[in-house]
Amino acid sequence: MRTDSVPSDPKLDAYILGVVTNAPRRMTPLELKQRVLETRPLQCGQFKSAIKRLVLQKALVYTYQFGNSFLELSFEKPVRIADAMILKPPACNYQALPQDVVINIKAGAAFGTGVHPTTRLSLQALEMVCKGNPHCINSENRQILDIGTGSGVLAIAAIKLGFDSGVGIDIDPCARVEALENVRLNKLCKKIEISDDSLDSIQGIFFSVIANLRLPTLKAYFRRMVDLMDTNGFLILSGIKTKEIKPLQKVSEKHGMAVYWEGIEKEWAGLVLSRP
pLDDT at 119: 87
pLDDT at 112: 52
pLDDT at 29: 94
User: Minimal CA–CA distance to 235: which of 272, 205, 264, 266?
Assistant: 272
What order of strands is seen across the sheet that includes strand 85-88? 79-80, 85-88, 101-104
Please state the φ and ψ torsions of residue 209, each to the nearest 5 degrees.
-115, 130
pTM: 0.81
Averaged in consecutive runs of 10 residues, what is the pLDDT profile of the chain (276 residues)?
Answer: 59 90 84 93 90 90 86 82 87 87 81 70 90 63 91 94 94 93 96 97 95 96 96 94 95 95 92 94
Total domains in the chain come to 2
**Domain check: are 63 and 122 in the same one?**
no
Q: Of the candidates 73, 102, 133, which is a domain's last residue?
A: 73
Residues β-bridged to residue 269: 240, 264
**Domain check: are 136 and 25 in the same one?**
no
Strands 143-147 and 165-169, how do they pair?
parallel
32 lies in which domain range? Answer: 3-73
Asked, for residue 88, whether it belongs to a domain, the answer is no
Please state the φ and ψ torsions of residue 40, each to the nearest 5 degrees.
-145, 120
pLDDT at 68: 87
Q: Of the candidates 73, 100, 132, which is a domain's last residue?
A: 73
**Domain check: are 135 and 231 in the same one?**
yes
Q: What is the CATH number of the domain that holds 232?
A: 3.40.50.150
